[in-house]
Structure 1
Amino acid sequence: MVEPRQGVALYVRVSTEEQAEYGYSIDAQLDTLRTFCKLHGKTITDEYVERGVSGTTIEGRPELLRMLHDAERGNFSELLVWRINRLSRKQLDLMQIMKQLEQLGVGFESFTEKFDTSSPMGKFALQMMGAVGELERNTIVENVKSGMKQRARRGQWNGGIVLGYETTQLKASGNRRERVTTLEVVPEEAAIVRRIFEMYGTSGLGLKAIANRLNHEGHRTKKGNPFSVYGVSEILRNPLYVGKIRYNVRENWAEKRRKGINKHPIIADGEHQPIVSQELWDQVQALYDKKSGRPPRVFQGSFPLTGLLRCPQCGSGMVAHRVKDTLKDGAVVYRRSYVCGAFRNKGSAVCKSNGVRADEAEQAVFDRLKEAVVRPNVLRDVVDRVNARRSASSKPLASELKSVEKELEQLNGRKERWYRLYEEDGMERDMLVGRLNELKAQGERLEARRSELRAELATQNDAPPVPRAVVKATLTHFHRLLQNAPPEQQKALLHLLVKRIEVKGRSVGAIELTLDERLQETF
């Protein structure tokens, strides 16, 4: 274990909702902690600032991850926070963080809650505070969900970006956290939505054909992206367009993601104007349900390189493609290949097929990995390329970090100029407040990006060059496993070792490997 260097690290966090509702301010937290350190003769080694970041998970907080990484490097001997729930509102995460700090010999202190976390009673108090924080968080989440469900039952829109409509704020209620919004039809977008329903319901076009036609005509989604099969499907199945409000389709998104499907979502008559008629909606739904029945899968082949092969034209991941072919003697064969995922999902307006025969591509990858084990010059080239790539990858990150920090300095200078205009030239206060809010939002985005860049650079700078002996041992074990593994395990193994595979023309090009510590330990 690295001996921590003397000094105090400050960690502060605030979510957008907390700052709006309770007045938690990043600057106020920092000023309080800095003053505390000055009064007690503590030297601050670094400050970890998370603006507008929820405390739900550890993974989504780059500054917390950077702080833990720096603790492992021994950059500070004590961590100071304003309140314990700034570290986490989930008791399990809080206990894991505290255990990690304790194992690293890093002390912990909360400005608001005064107790010694190294004593048995202090640890008990910490656990109680963690439980209270998690209860508080769960209560807030439940209250917010309850309010949004009630709004949906009244036919009110709970927010979001949707093609065909624009969200308009009508008024602000007495509770600052609640905004009254409505949906206004955007005529140009509504025409695209109606056309999608008509192409599917009356013209007989399928999802890919619709996406392909829209993309060829230059139409784009609400976010400015090409239409995809999934996007067209979502539009056709959304009752919003027939005047309904649908809510709570998925539950516990943070934990379950797309798997948390609610079989009984809220569907109520909305306050907004429908875009398609009830007759067309019913016709489309009946046709969609009729087509959605999946036929039994006849072909059971595997595609271990799915997602690893990269389209030579657009760089998208290449996906599985099967073609049924009947020979002269009547025998049926299935030919496997990999095609561009963007072409498969969005049509020829976005990219071409750029197909690669699956058998040839897979054999080429397996032979290339085997060759790296048995030929010293190939192995040496692999190791040199991996280390050179790891070294070079930090340069653009460092350059971007320098640019972001320069923008933040310029932002502070612009704030000062606006203050001077207000004081010296009599600028209206509302104009000043509006401009400062814009600059504040821009600053928060820049600071969030700075945190991400610092965390990535810290990880890369600490990574030593990969030894050749380690690479050889890893590839040797990997090749043995790959030869004896069933198809589904072959795919998992390849995705563990290979980062991406370039395609040149109709054959396999460069193979980029991932040789990190986690992989080395696995093999």
Structure 2
Amino acid sequence: MTSKPIKVAIYARVSTEDQAKHGYSIKAQRKVLSDYCKLYGKEIYDVYEDSGVSGKSTEGRYELQRLLKDAENKRFDMVLVWKINRLARKTYDLLHILNQLKMYNVTFRSFTENFETETSMGNFALQMMGAVSELERNTIVDNVKMGMRHRAEKGEHNGKLPLGYRVVPDPGDPSGRSKVIVVEAEAIIVRKIFKLYAAGRGLKSIANELNHSGYTTKTGNTFSTSAVKEILNNPFYNGKIRYNRYENWSDMRRRGKNATPIIVDGKHEAIIHDALWEKVQFLHQKKSFTPSRIFDGEFLLSGLIRCPKCGAAMVASRTQSKTKTGEIVNRLYYSCGAFRSKGSSVCSANSIRKQEAEDEVMNRLTRVLSKDRILKAIVDKINHRLTTRTVPLQAELEHIKSQLEQAESRKRRYLDAFEQNKLDKSTVAERMQEIQADLIKFRAERSRLELELTEGNTSPIAFEQVRELIHGFNQVLTTAPFEQRKTLMHLFIKRITVNTSKKIETIELSFDENMDSYFFPSPVAATADYSQQKREKIEIVI
């Protein structure tokens, strides 16, 4: 009696840097691993490919997520990769993935390193190689940072250029290096921003004027107060190079702000002369303080209510008026955040009274909670949607597959034309770069949709489960302090829509299976029969 062949899941990943520098193409990885399976009589279950995705984290790697989902569902027996750094660059991520595979009784193989995770020594060696891989990546990152620091110290730019500049080849440099030049059409916008601020205009006023004039940012977006502020604070416009403004950006973001960044004279032409730059920095410093609260009010729904005109989040605002006795009265509202940061060319205030909005939300929650009949109708609607959700996803997936085939067909046509000397090398290279970007985008979207179809929960939701969640939500929301209530609102409310009459239209609630601890702190509630079932995310609209 012959044993069943081992089912193998092949995982391949390539970032654009790897493909360019080392030739670790997806096609090459797939061929080597497929040949390995044929040689040793293993059955290929599926090939999971993350194209153009960095291995520094697991975010955005939809094919890896689909692989882990299929592993959980016992679809294959082994995961095979060309090299362990294709699976993960960080030891923590590698061990986490391997632990998941082990939990699902799935073995792991690396073709290049040839480790066996079934044995203690093989597992140990794999962990050591994971640590070496992470050290290798960190060393590369350190070397890149050292090179960028050296460039900065010499007055050369790193990364993307701000509005007003672009890179062109330097005809006077025999080595073929490039230089930074001023784009006059964009420099006009920059000078206008500095002059308006120096004349006493505020950030919102400047953004509003720019947007009304039809000006856009470097990326083609409308100007916001933060975009204007970023330009005013950028010493590049004064002919300086600033480097290492933020440390460990990928993990810390703006929390990693460096108090002592490198600032040196650059080799590029300044757009803003010293006198105007210094005046603007002086004015900005004078305005840079945290003002005391000009009005009281706890805004429970800020960021949750959506503008009925543009869909932006609505934020706290107020107006003042005088009574006949001369008393100043503050009126509190939720107003469009895009209007407040970008001005009237983008949207209008569309204000809704604070108390009116909050009362309506709480009253609607109470009505739903008090009537099982209404809640049951909502649950029935959710269950109907769950059973039919795959149809539009399938249609979208077929559309993406069609676009992917068309892009691959264009790629083949350009290559054929180049081989027949119908197109020159530079034209083909430029077009192939655009097509490759489309291929990476379409493949990522295909992976995302396939993952969503794979993990989509179409089983009916228990009415008792939803009722218990809603009742727990309401109990905490009505008894907790303001800060906790606001946090809970942002955890469980996806969005609140407002109609054109400035009335609350819908409230979308989303409950994740990991949030039970907010509602079921006692072991009693957690012993209900339905709580033993695996819970997926539940979304309801009231």
TM norm structure 2:
0.89
**For 2:19, what is the secondary structure of its paired residue?**
helix
Q: Is the 8 A contact 2:50 2:61 kept in 1?
A: yes
Match of 1:477 in 2: 472
Offset of 1:143 from its aligned partner?
0.6
Q: Is the 8 A contact 1:169 1:181 kept in 2?
A: yes
Q: Quick one: structure 1 residues 387 and 349, their matched pair in 2 at CA, closer, same or farther if it must change by over 3 Å?
A: farther
Offset of 1:384 from its aligned partner?
3.2
Question: What does residue range 305-344 of structure 1 map to in structure 2 within 5 Å?
Answer: 305-325=301-321, 327=323, 333-344=329-340
- Alpha-carbon distance in 2 for matches of 1:384, 1:344: 40
How big is each residue's C-alpha offset from its partner over 1:205-232, in whole Å with a ceiling of 9 and x where there is no partner? 1000000111111111111111100001
Q: Is the 8 A contact 1:309 1:501 kept in 2?
A: yes
Q: Quick one: structure 1 residues 295 and 97, their matched pair in 2 at CA, closer, same or farther if it must change by over 3 Å?
A: same
Offset of 1:189 from its aligned partner?
0.8
Q: Is the 8 A contact 1:37 1:44 kept in 2?
A: yes
What count of residue pairs does the alignment treat as equivalent? Answer: 514
Q: Quick one: structure 1 residues 331 and 390, their matched pair in 2 at CA, closer, same or farther if it must change by over 3 Å?
A: farther
Residue 355 of structure 2 is aligned to residue 374 of structure 1: no
Question: What does residue range 111-510 of structure 1 map to in structure 2 within 5 Å?
Answer: 111-170=111-170, 180-202=177-199, 204-325=200-321, 327=323, 333-390=329-386, 394-424=390-420, 428=424, 431-459=427-455, 461-504=456-499, 505-510=501-506
How big is each residue's C-alpha offset from its partner over 1:469-491, in whole Å with a ceiling of 9 and x where there is no partner? 11111001111101111111111
Q: Quick one: structure 1 residues 285 and 421, their matched pair in 2 at CA, closer, same or farther if it must change by over 3 Å?
A: closer
- Alpha-carbon distance in 2 for matches of 1:395, 1:146: 51
- Alpha-carbon distance in 1 for matches of 2:111, 2:502: 63
- Alpha-carbon distance in 2 for matches of 1:438, 1:297: 51
Offset of 1:66 from its aligned partner?
1.8
Q: Quick one: structure 1 residues 375 and 34, their matched pair in 2 at CA, closer, same or farther if it must change by over 3 Å?
A: same
| Matched residue type, 2:15 | S
Match of 2:79 in 1: 79
- Alpha-carbon distance in 1 for matches of 2:388, 2:257: 43
- Please, which moves more after superposition, 387-396 or 264-273? 387-396
Offset of 1:430 from its aligned partner?
5.3
Match of 1:38 in 2: 38
Offset of 1:308 from its aligned partner?
1.2
Residue 86 of structure 2 is aligned to residue 91 of structure 1: no
Q: Is the 8 A contact 2:306 2:497 kept in 1?
A: yes
**For 1:462, what is the secondary structure of its paired residue?**
coil
| Matched residue type, 1:221 | T
How big is each residue's C-alpha offset from its partner over 1:239-258, in whole Å with a ceiling of 9 and x where there is no partner? 11111111111111111111
**For 1:53, what is the secondary structure of its paired residue?**
coil
Q: Quick one: structure 1 residues 20 and 418, their matched pair in 2 at CA, closer, same or farther if it must change by over 3 Å?
A: closer
Q: Is the 8 A contact 1:56 1:89 kept in 2?
A: yes
Residue 65 of structure 2 is aligned to residue 69 of structure 1: no
Offset of 1:266 from its aligned partner?
1.1
- Please, which moves more after superposition, 11-20 or 361-370? 11-20
Q: Is the 8 A contact 1:9 1:76 kept in 2?
A: yes
Q: Quick one: structure 1 residues 425 and 324, their matched pair in 2 at CA, closer, same or farther if it must change by over 3 Å?
A: closer
| Matched residue type, 1:507 | K
| Matched residue type, 1:160 | K
**For 2:114, what is the secondary structure of its paired residue?**
coil
- Alpha-carbon distance in 2 for matches of 1:427, 1:31: 30
- Alpha-carbon distance in 2 for matches of 1:109, 1:174: 49
**For 2:333, what is the secondary structure of its paired residue?**
strand
Q: Quick one: structure 1 residues 432 and 309, their matched pair in 2 at CA, closer, same or farther if it must change by over 3 Å?
A: closer
Offset of 1:439 from its aligned partner?
2.7
| Matched residue type, 1:40 | Y
Q: Is the 8 A contact 1:325 1:332 kept in 2?
A: yes
- Alpha-carbon distance in 1 for matches of 2:274, 2:389: 55
Q: Quick one: structure 1 residues 174 and 62, their matched pair in 2 at CA, closer, same or farther if it must change by over 3 Å?
A: farther
How big is each residue's C-alpha offset from its partner over 1:395-417, in whole Å with a ceiling of 9 and x where there is no partner? 44432321121122223333333
- Alpha-carbon distance in 2 for matches of 1:322, 1:452: 42
